[in-house]
Amino acid sequence: MLNSSLTQMGAALHAKRISSIELTQLYLNRITELNPALNAYITTNAEFSLAQARRADQLLANGKAQSLTGIPIAQKDIFCAKSWRTTCGSKMLENFIAPYDAHVIEQFNNAGAVNLGKTNMDEFAMGSSNETSFFGPVKNPWDNHAVPGGSSGGSACAVAARLCAAATGTDTGGSIRQPAALCGISGIKPTYGTVSRYGMIAFASSLDQAGPMARNAEDLALMLNVMTGFDERDSTSLQRDKEDYARDLNKPLAGLRIGLPKEFFAEGLAQDVAGCVNLAITEYQKLGASIVDITLPNSRLAVPVYYVLAPAEASSNLSRYDGVRYGYRAPEYSDLTEMYERSRAQGFGAEVKRRIMIGTYVLSHGYYDAYYLQAQKIRRLIAQDFTEAFQNCDVIMGPTSPSTAFNLGEKGDDPVQMYLSDIYTIAVNLAGLPGMSIPCGFGSNGLPIGLQIIGNYFDEARMLNAAHQYQLVTDNHQRAPNNIGL
């Protein structure tokens, strides 16, 4: 059952071959056994999870079940879930119990899914390796000495290690796609605004987007069907009719035009990653797709633009954590100003402090025009590059990450090298486009490699179709780490 897809699990539940309580308990047992070594989960609550499983079994018995009813899903610890501890990977929120559900949590609750627990993440989603979490780093299940990627590393690890059926993540600059690639699973960041940010703790509001992480594209489509939808509580939520993201999964790929940006295959890309990506492109050609050479000339500026805009928004969003209303408060201080200073100094980790300082600097008088305003102009140019490219192709493909998973601690002393691990993913967030990563092979060290698929606005169904057809003729997504007891 642990290697079953969401569709197969749903069929087993509907046929009464297994109950939701049994399935949930199976995962809870695995979490108890494996999580101490992997550190994928921050919080679990068996009582809460099994209570949801009992309700799901009643829905199944009464014939009122939906596609995900009774299926155990892990939730990234960035989503508020009522009565659950919600930490965002930070000491600042170490003991925060959410008083309400995020829109994403509501959607899964309404679908009858079971919340298995809250997964570990880089503090306030700031990181590319899941090493900045106050609760310690997550280990890559393929190699416990390697990082799982970030910031959704806990979710990626949990899916890869079969500690959940699927999981949620968030993607501000690649934080769904990059850990999906490094852990050998599938993940998609939908078009900005299709999934509500209500109850999702903010990092950079114009970039943050929730999405699903699962073993294959078909599972991602089922998850997106639940997660998307208009929410009036989020001013950036788009008013669009609900759509079935699984509708085109079985369409043939004949005539699909795949754009290959020359910038994605330049210096800095590891040879084993390039080799696997090129083999995947060849497989697509066998499936009837054609190749179009394209250029994204401003994509080289995506990393510096991102590290102006994202910290600027973070410095504003994180100003609410002042030790007054909720969150960590320093135990000793002499006056109000010192309480602010000590609470923030003690409550935030080094990477969060670094980004707050950068953001405050670029927004300060005399630097706003020179940095922030210029970055916004280049952001528009990056989006225009994609618009022009999609006039000649249907999807864009390339590597998700420039290398396989690096070792824990390897890039901790060099923030720039850490930031460059998202070099192929950041431009997608700046443009608000949908992007996904699927497994396409393994590197010379035996670690997974991801193929990135980028689509035009609201073209998730086509992307999922392309991913699904590839996964029908390959088995990379079915491979599991050797050391997870399967």
Neighbours of 482 (CB within 10 A): 11
pLDDT surpasses 80 at 380: yes
Q: State the pLDDT at residue 214.
A: 98
Catalytic choice (5, 76, 343, 411):
76
pLDDT surpasses 90 at 416: no
Give 264's contacts (C-beta < 8 A, 6+ positions apart).
296, 299, 398, 399, 424
Hey, what are 90's tokens?
């930070």
Catalytic choice (175, 401, 403, 437):
175
Helix or strand run (H / E) with residue 455:
strand 448-455
Confidence band (pLDDT; 50, 70, 90) for 325?
confident
Average pLDDT over residues 329-346: 96
Mark whether 76 is an active-site residue. yes
How far, in whole angstroms, is CA 378 from its chain's centroid?
25
Neighbours of 47 (CB within 10 A): 7
Hey, what are 318's tokens?
């994180």
Convert the pLDDT of each residue in 230-285 to its tens digit: 999 999 999 999 999 999 999 999 999 999 999 999 989 999 999 999 999 999 99
Helix or strand run (H / E) with residue 336:
helix 336-347
Mark whether 175 is an active-site residue. yes
Confidence band (pLDDT; 50, 70, 90) for 298?
very high
Convert the pLDDT of each residue in 181-219 to its tens digit: 999 999 999 999 999 999 999 999 999 999 999 999 999
pLDDT surpasses 80 at 486: no
Task: Give first-to-last CA distance, the chain, whole Å.
Answer: 11
Question: Alpha helix locations (H) across 111-176?
Answer: 153-160
Please check whether residue 360 is in contact with residue 315, taking contact to mean a CB–CB distance below 8 angstroms: yes
Q: How many whole angstroms separate alpha carbon 152 and alpha carbon 157? A: 9
Catalytic choice (151, 186, 315, 437):
151
Domains of the chain: residue spans and CATH:
6-256 (3.90.1300.10), 301-379 (no CATH)
Mark whether 83 is an active-site residue. no
Closest CA to 431 of 91, 173, 57, 156: 173
Q: How many whole angstroms separate alpha carbon 240 and alpha carbon 234? A: 14
Convert the pLDDT of each residue in 102-117 to its tens digit: 999 999 999 999 999 9
Q: Where are the beta strands (DSSP E) in 145-237?
A: 166-170, 186-189, 210-214
DSSP reduced 3-state for 81 = coil
Average pLDDT over residues 159-167: 98
Neighbours of 334 (CB within 10 A): 8
Angle value at C-alpha 154, between 148 and 158, nearest 5 degrees: 95
